[in-house]
């Protein structure tokens, strides 16, 4: 019986890793701005989930 490692998501099926090249918990949103439309934090590309973007 194998012991699971720290990363519980196999890299082969980790869509976030495949899409962004990193795990969701590795993104530090505090480094980035806020969306001008909904005032949510944006990602490192300054894009928001609502379709807006930071200034
Ligand atoms: Zn937004």
What does the pLDDT read at residue 34? 85
47, 32 in Cβ contact below 8 A?
no
Mean pLDDT of the chain: 75
Question: What is the distance in A from the centroid of ligand 1 to the CA of 28?
Answer: 17
What does the pLDDT read at residue 2? 61
pLDDT at residue 55 is higher than 70:
no
Please give the Cα distance from 41 to 27 (Å, whole number).
11
Residues with CB under 5 A from ligand 1 (ion): 35, 37-38, 40, 48, 50, 52
Question: What is the distance in A from the centroid of ligand 1 to the CA of 29?
Answer: 13
Please give the Cα distance from 4 to 6 (Å, whole number).
7
HSE-CB for 46 with a 13 A CA cutoff: 5
pTM over 0.85: no
């Amino acid at each position: 019986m194998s012991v699971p490692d720290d990363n519980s998501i196999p890299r082969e099926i980790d869509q976030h890793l495949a899409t962004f090249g990193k795990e969701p918990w590795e993104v530090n949103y505090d480094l980035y701005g806020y969306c001008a439309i909904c005032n949510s934090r944006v990602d490192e590309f300054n894009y928001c989930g609502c379709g807006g973007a930071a200034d």
